[in-house]
Structure 1
């Protein structure tokens, strides 16, 4: 008897990325991949376990490896300097996983959207414009690049702010909208901004304000943590940056009495040591973690630092991790003493 069973449907492919806090770059990378024919039905596996990631069909923003031939797209490894390969943009902003995936798949995605071949000149023009206006700011923010240097010219322009989104609700130059239609769009804009405002008020009242007492306690106890007073430990994670600067000013602390590092427990039970930035809006740190540690992970970092339980130090040196509080504290102490 002939086998009349329907052929088994192929299971979807898997996109691997890191677990824990998610960021804009891997979210965008995932969205771009899901707009390709190959990964359209892909599921996402979020993990830092190398064995689990090895089972994925493509891995983004984790794994400390860039190899397009092996479908690996990370940017956190030491020595990574890759920028968008089209030199006409003339910038030095390193790619995040969003830029890496966009560079690899963006032309195909935009070509499908325009109904043209990826090599078409119009596709290329849109591809470059979308990178510069949308993807580049995401790369820059993820890599800690400030929009301005010492000149007046910005390194990049962020076109996804709430003001930009409101502006885009206005009629385009090549469409006709009557007065009633414009009024309707205005009401849409009011709702958009109103929702953002309400969310900001709710966050400030219910999340930001309660964090003040946690930061205030950490600042008061910092000399109990280390005699320098330059290491503060949060009793629980909270949005601490704004409060720290305000409380320092209120206490009239001198520069050498202010914390350089803040320790807190992460969602997995490990501990993070994060640098305090020079100002609330700066990507520069009062003192970064030791440069030799940057981009190094796990056992290699244990050996290099002489501290057991190390997990990582970011390539830019603004944050590191350890499996235990004692380990994270030891990292912070060595960082304070390092010159």
Structure 2
């Protein structure tokens, strides 16, 4: 072996490099995510700012002032770094976002035993960035959540980034570097546990609900020729999915549904709910008729002319009937009024 050739590591495990000292949520999560990939599974970690040490690592995150995927260098602190996730997201990436952008689809595909090109993988990849990763990127990069500098009414220090920060030794606490490294591993496990929990929910509950809503939206003209009524045969969260799917399918305004019919969570009765004008709005596209509002039970059955009436909310956004046919009859009659 020539003197110029670096000695080979005896430990053939891959090594992830990141900075030492105070650790943060972004590199703690980045390390966890890398350990969920085939290449870096169970990799060791070296925490240092020494270029000579970092040069021995197989991949480096959050240190080194270079972003170059081909060289497996993923820092975001350097002057001129402006990388964002894309797909409509504009928050500057931290090391968590960088690693997720490049390796997230593989992690998701492996988790659910899906092909990398399966559309569900991209759907979950974008959802997890929006609901979980982007906030970590924003906090680490100092991106204000309030672009107009509105003063919040209270401080929130229960977020994941804050909880990782609290794992660092106090300023007046003397801890050896090996002890800090152990705390970093604890932080990485914490971020990973929350990431996997969120991914498990979105893949196991959120995505199946989306499939149900997509099928019901497609079949709505079989329920009523107008296409204004959607029928679910089982309860599932539908609001967020409906608006996204309408946009994806480019459903014209005149064909968008007014009412959703579904069994309540007990499975005993049925609900008719007016679709809001937006996911967070209290205003409905077409509220249930004013004359029905605030009326209950037998009086509601009398007013509507439909047996099995339970209630209609005073605002007209939701009502109930004892049977599916009754709820569907209420929806059809409401379209006419």
TM-score (norm: length of structure 1): 0.45
Q: Which has the larger radius of gyration?
A: 2
TM-score (norm: length of structure 2): 0.45
